[in-house]
Amino acid sequence: MTLWNKIVTTMASHPERLKVVRTLLENGLAIRRSRIYLNDIEVPVVKLARVAKVDRRTVGEAIRSIESNPELKSLFEKLGSAGVSLRGVAHDLGLGTVEILVENPAKPGIIAGASSLLSTAGISIRQALVDDPDLVPEPKLVLIADRPVPGDLVTKLREIPGVVRVSLY
């Protein structure tokens, strides 16, 4: 059972709390001493509630649920932001974005195959963002390239064993 499935099971009777947990994970937010942190910056409960589209009390309840579960507490105490993501600004910077969805994220060779195809085309990868398959229901591989990726590479990327969908932005 993946960690995400354990989280869903733990929060099954509280879907609003699950929305909070998903927002925490998607943003790399930690829970320490009943407070929310983006690395070392404290995030107000009301701000997280607004983003998760829940009441601030629901955020507090989700935090208490996390802290009462040793496995979740350990996970959320140590979470951190993965750093700067160019995904939202890639187009503005003249960079290319490739998003790859796979059938089985545990299958080896997806990143290697994609990076090899881009390299052969003379395209350098500036950034690789990979969702953790244990924490994200539909994990994706996002590659930010040093220039827009030509459409003819989509067919080649789809031929990588296990790739389900390829999108260019």
Euclidean distance between CA atoms 100 and 165, whole angstroms: 6
Q: What pLDDT was estimated at residue 160?
A: 96
Q: What pLDDT was estimated at residue 61?
A: 97
Half-sphere CA count of 117, side-chain side, radius 13 A: 19
Q: How confident is the model at residue 1 (pLDDT cuts 50, 70, 90)?
A: confident
- For residue 60, the cross-strand partners are none
Quick: pLDDT tens for 36-65: 999 999 999 999 999 999 999 999 999 999
Terminal C-alpha separation, the chain: 33
Euclidean distance between CA atoms 100 and 166, whole angstroms: 5
pTM (two decimals)? 0.82
Q: What pLDDT was estimated at residue 108?
A: 93
Between 17 and 81, where is the model more confident?
17
Q: What pLDDT was estimated at residue 94?
A: 97
Residue type present at position 35 = R
Quick: pLDDT tens for 113-159: 999 999 999 999 999 999 998 888 889 999 999 999 999 999 999 99
Quick: pLDDT tens for 64-121: 999 999 999 999 999 998 888 999 999 999 999 999 999 998 899 999 999 999 999 9
Domains of the chain with CATH codes: 3-78 (no CATH), 87-168 (3.30.70.260)
